[in-house]
Structure 1
């Protein structure tokens, strides 16, 4: 049974910058949780940031993560990404389900770095690092694609 690294906010943990969560309500996700497949992490929190915290966005052209006050928080985001990767390597996790649009976890979009609420195509620091190590990253919007991949793989190896 394949384990899946998952954003803690998708599991209902109060770890988002605003102290909230983004709990994913999905039958497949709930089944994976019941099966014990999910390994949760919030890269921002394990990287040393508090909850709540100032909103942050990735500035792609400078390869930085800056909070709304202009503070460079790249180090904490990078540390959290490395911890997430270590978890995957230690537990032989090949798949991740991470919160899209996050400066850590975005897998399709991120906010544009200008704090205008505008999204652009891009990935968060954790997603980027995981993909560099051949870990497939999905978002809450692509749960069914991940489910299909896992079903295909499990049939192939059974």
Structure 2
């Protein structure tokens, strides 16, 4: 027996490739039949949980790095993520000019929009602090009269 025959692969190449292909197809077929409970259910009945710091507002993306949030201009962070009601990522360029009711997070040190979740109707019906909050840290006599 020479040195090359001892170091050769024990299976013939065509047989090995057929087995690898069969294994790959089996994995692909099994992966495609996940139960519905393993798939993301945003607006389909399940409710997403949002961070406690998330606020509520109306978001309109005006350019690739600019948006309006509750009628005010805001810059989007370089890694800003926008999630659909099904919790999938939405590319900002695909929703330019559209307005959405969202829960959102602002990056504290820069004041840029960091993350926003487009809400389903059920999620939007849940009360959350946000667009109805006052943007100042003092009260006036007018505030006492209107409440």
TM-score when normalising by structure 2: 0.26
Higher fraction of strand: 2
Query: TM-score scaled to structure 1, two decimals?
Result: 0.24
Structure number with higher helix proportion: 1
